[in-house]
């Protein structure tokens, strides 16, 4: 698991994250939300070992995250970004999947087996030989996820990955999430995506201001999403039968 102890991230005299104390298990499905500039992306980067805390420690499976080698971190936590092109390196979808596998030190046979498995799990047959840059926005994002899932990390961070996707592609990705065997941190601005997680974290101004279960929140209509506004108004107007 990840244990964040009194973590601060400071940049140019500004505290981006402050006093963050958190434990997150590798199998947990966590949604992280909060306004722009509240520190969500930095928390995701911390958990993926891309940045280190300015103060405080992050202990991963009993060892300080700073003491891991990058390839070992990649086996523990993967990250998918909002703009998938940021993580493409090769010129075909197949090579993109293989590239990550090579980096975590798999041998040739293991790589081939793993790639075949991912190809069928994500339905990538038609895209396999295409350049990732030629794909549509939704396809790119699915390939980016596939290349991370292929490495079979214990935990994946998804940083607002549905921002540019239409409803159909978003729904496809939600289906893929359900198939994942690992836990994840799903960073989003969209309150409709809160049910993706079992646990909700809310950041405001660098601090965790909410940490709790999603289920009771969904029942209480407390989350200020358009759908909940509609439900609340129906109740107010005595139209509960249409909920």
Partner 1 sequence: MISIKNVCVKYNGRTILDNVSADFEDTRIHLIVGPTGAGKTTFLSVIIGFVKPDEGAVAVPRGDISDLRNRMGILFQFPEEMFFLEKVYEEIALAPISRRMDRIENRVHQALEMVNLSPDILQASPYEISYGEKRRVALASILSYSPDWILLDEPFAGLDRRGINMMVGVIKNLKERGKGVIIASHRIEEIAAICDSVTLLVEGRLIFSVETSMTDWNEIYSAGCDVPVSVRFSMALAANGINIGYPLTIDEAVKRLKETRREER
By CB under 8 A, name the binding residues for partner 1.
Answer: 34-37, 82, 136-138, 160, 163-169, 189, 224, 226-227, 229-230, 233-234, 237, 239, 242
Instruction: Output the smallest distance, CB 7 to partner 1, in A.
Output: 22
Q: Return the number of the residue (21 or 136) whose C-beta is nearest partner 1.
A: 136
Q: What is the torsional sign of CA 44, 49, 54, 56?
A: positive
Instruction: Output the smallest distance, CB 97 to partner 1, in A.
Output: 21
Q: Return the number of the residue (73 or 91) whose C-beta is nearest partner 1.
A: 91
Instruction: Output the smallest distance, CB 149 to partner 1, in A.
Output: 21
Contact 201, 211 (CB under 8 A): yes
Q: Return the number of the residue (90 or 163) whose C-beta is nearest partner 1.
A: 163
Q: Return the number of the residue (117 or 232) whose C-beta is nearest partner 1.
A: 232
Instruction: Output the smallest distance, CB 229 to partner 1, in A.
Output: 5
Q: What is the largest CA-CA distance in the chain?
A: 64
Rounded to 10°, the helix 108-122/137-149 angle is 140
Strand residue runs (E) in the chain:
2-11, 14-24, 29-33, 55-60, 63-64, 77-80, 155-159, 183-187, 199-204, 207-213
């Amino acid at each position: 698991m990840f244990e964040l102890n009194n973590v601060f991230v400071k940049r140019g005299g500004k505290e981006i994250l402050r006093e963050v104390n958190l434990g997150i298990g590798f199998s947990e499905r966590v949604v992280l939300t909060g306004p722009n500039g509240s520190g969500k992306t930095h928390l995701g980067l911390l958990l993926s070992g891309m940045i280190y805390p300015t103060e405080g420690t992050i202990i991963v499976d009993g060892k300080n995250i700073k003491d891991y080698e990058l390839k070992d971190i990649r086996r523990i936590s993967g990250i998918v970004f909002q703009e998938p092109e940021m993580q493409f390196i090769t010129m075909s979808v197949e090579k993109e999947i293989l590239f990550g596998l090579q980096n975590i030190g798999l041998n040739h046979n293991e790589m081939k087996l793993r790639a075949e498995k991912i190809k069928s799990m994500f339905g990538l047959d038609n895209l396999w030989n295409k350049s990732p840059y030629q794909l549509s926005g939704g396809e790119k994002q699915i390939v980016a996820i596939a290349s991370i899932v292929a490495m079979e990390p214990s935990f994946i961070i998804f940083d607002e990955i549905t921002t540019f996707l239409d409803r159909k592609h978003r729904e496809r990705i939600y289906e893929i999430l359900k198939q994942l065997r690992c836990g994840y941190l799903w960073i989003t601005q969209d309150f409709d995506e809160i049910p993706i997680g079992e646990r909700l974290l809310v950041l405001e101004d660098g601090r965790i201001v909410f940490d709790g279960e999603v289920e009771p929140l969904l029942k209480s209509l407390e989350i200020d999403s358009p759908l909940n506004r509609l439900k609340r108004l129906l109740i107010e107007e005595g139209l509960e039968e249409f909920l």
